[in-house]
Structure 1
């Protein structure tokens, strides 16, 4: 394999080696070790192509034991959460509607090379939309965004902006502790690393909700949470205006342009979602 097969430039290669411990030698060796382990555990029914394995390895800094545990957790979750991972058809009216109102919006440009996503926690109507469907649509868009930005998403990770504007009691009622626990488990066992969790337009009672979230987080993830009260001005101190849409005080287009782009990308990946749905753990005895 050449440099271009895994990295677009030398700087990214150096970062991967220094921070993740990824070298040409241990990447090839580790992918093969994990592939053989998956083949010895056929009931996991996990993907064995290089990129699918590499994403988990990078997220675990090439620790094979942690990688195997995260792969097990991920493919088990796909079976145990049919409400998120079954019937992932982008043409379904519910999915289309949630994508079109912008519940989950990846940005065009990177922050410190990280993929940035805006999660609009109150964009949906809680009287009309189930929280599980919101999570389902968001994970579908995330999967496509990682595919489209594989290098940056898997090497540098994800910066997530949680927009809490217009959050209501109805939205809060959709997130009882057991649902929050499932959501945090998914964050911590997905094949990309959440590096920043920025909560903007936060209400004054945010700490009540966040304390529940944090109770299920690892200590490391807790340290990546930051709250921004009174709008988005303080967000600009940690994420440049140059990559944000105008609705967030930035100058890189509008959220509507991004919504239309990712809605089309979902449609383009209809066949991929159908194939991906087959990969999940067999939990039968």
Structure 2
């Protein structure tokens, strides 16, 4: 098989929590690949590691995995600001170096979730758009689908550090974009979101966060946690699993960014091939996918508005 064996602890979790049956994985991947090849409207990646990630993300329900892969590519077409021209070039690497997106080298325990840190106050809102960093974030997630067993089996915890968030940053809040990212993350990506933890929240940002929460599903709202200080965060993410800048032992910001710069560079040709994959709605025979139903009463992505 063309995918990595899990370490013993993650394998046990995959079997207990994700319904993974090691002796059946190869045949499940084969069934999923053959289904994709028979869909006239869908041109999807079919590597073993890509497909097993979606099977794990759907607790090995073949029908749910089929729908999630279809939705993954369908929604990408509806969010061009996040998925068009995804290239690893000097601009992409410059965005990374700003330090808004940190995905730490060590998970929580050998069999624990991956830890993300988002520091959007690091970018100059006169120079960059929030959508630029969200595009980069999804590129990093695509790499993790192929490489990160902890993220695929145990999910991730995201820490949103709002230090240095300014009025200029808050003006970039886009309800439509927030809805898109929420639906993509919850419905189309094969990750398990364990929690989104906010720290260092300025008072002027609270109303924007509250507005953003209104656009989320009840399930996603329950994942939001607000911390008044780092000691409160340490109760969820033990200090040693955080970077040195937060008093921990999990690398420094510079080390994390250097690691990801090298990783992204290795995937240059992978993202050059991105344009080869997607959906052709003119060739779609039938589907249970209805983007307006997925988005709820707000309607389609293009029509989404907030009063």
The TM-score, its normalising length taken from structure 1, stands at 0.90
Aligned with 1:256 (options 236, 254, 257): 254
Unaligned runs of 5+ in 2: 284-307
Aligned with 1:153 (options 151, 154, 161): 151
Who is 1:22 aligned against? Answer: 20
Contact (CA 8 Å) 1:184, 1:213: kept in 2 or not?
no
- SS of the equivalent of 2:200 reads strand
Who is 1:196 aligned against? Answer: 195
- SS of the equivalent of 1:202 reads coil
Who is 1:186 aligned against? Answer: 184
* Per-residue Cα deviation, 1:24-50 (whole angstroms, up to 9, x for no partner): 244234323322221221322111222
1:88 aligns with 2:55: no
1:140 aligns with 2:127: no
Q: CA deviation at 1:284?
A: 4.0
1:38 aligns with 2:36: yes
User: May I ask how many residue pairs the two structures share in their alignment?
Assistant: 280
CA distance in 2, matches of 1:202, 1:119: 13
Shift in alpha-carbon separation, 1:233–1:14, aligned structure 2, 3 A: same
Shift in alpha-carbon separation, 1:91–1:186, aligned structure 2, 3 A: same
Q: CA deviation at 1:155?
A: 0.8
* Per-residue Cα deviation, 1:4-60 (whole angstroms, up to 9, x for no partner): 942122x22211111011112442343233222212213221112221111111111
Matches of residues 52-63 of structure 1 in structure 2 within 5 Å?
A: 52-63=50-61
CA distance in 2, matches of 1:172, 1:13: 42
Contact (CA 8 Å) 1:119, 1:163: kept in 2 or not?
yes
Contact (CA 8 Å) 1:20, 1:61: kept in 2 or not?
yes
Contact (CA 8 Å) 1:180, 1:212: kept in 2 or not?
no
Q: CA deviation at 1:170?
A: 1.6
Shift in alpha-carbon separation, 1:276–1:8, aligned structure 2, 3 A: farther
Shift in alpha-carbon separation, 1:28–1:145, aligned structure 2, 3 A: closer
CA distance in 1, matches of 2:24, 2:181: 32
Who is 2:107 aligned against? Answer: 110
CA distance in 2, matches of 1:67, 1:209: 34
Q: CA deviation at 1:76?
A: 1.2
Who is 2:223 aligned against? Answer: 224
1:99 aligns with 2:93: no
Contact (CA 8 Å) 1:203, 1:229: kept in 2 or not?
no
* Per-residue Cα deviation, 1:193-227 (whole angstroms, up to 9, x for no partner): 22121111122355533333333333333222111
- SS of the equivalent of 2:165 reads coil
Contact (CA 8 Å) 2:240, 2:247: kept in 1 or not?
no
Matches of residues 231-270 of structure 1 in structure 2 within 5 Å?
A: 232-270=230-268
Shift in alpha-carbon separation, 1:77–1:200, aligned structure 2, 3 A: same
* Per-residue Cα deviation, 1:52-87 (whole angstroms, up to 9, x for no partner): 111111111122332222212111122222222222
Who is 1:215 aligned against? Answer: 214
1:273 aligns with 2:271: yes
- SS of the equivalent of 1:161 reads strand
Q: CA deviation at 1:133?
A: 0.9
Q: CA deviation at 1:249?
A: 2.3
Superposition RMSD on alpha carbons, in Å? 2.2
More divergent stretch after superposition (159-168 vs 248-257): 248-257
Unaligned runs of 5+ in 1: none
* Per-residue Cα deviation, 1:237-282 (whole angstroms, up to 9, x for no partner): 1112212112222133311111122112211211111123422122
Contact (CA 8 Å) 1:108, 1:243: kept in 2 or not?
no
More divergent stretch after superposition (213-222 vs 15-24): 213-222
CA distance in 1, matches of 2:55, 2:167: 40
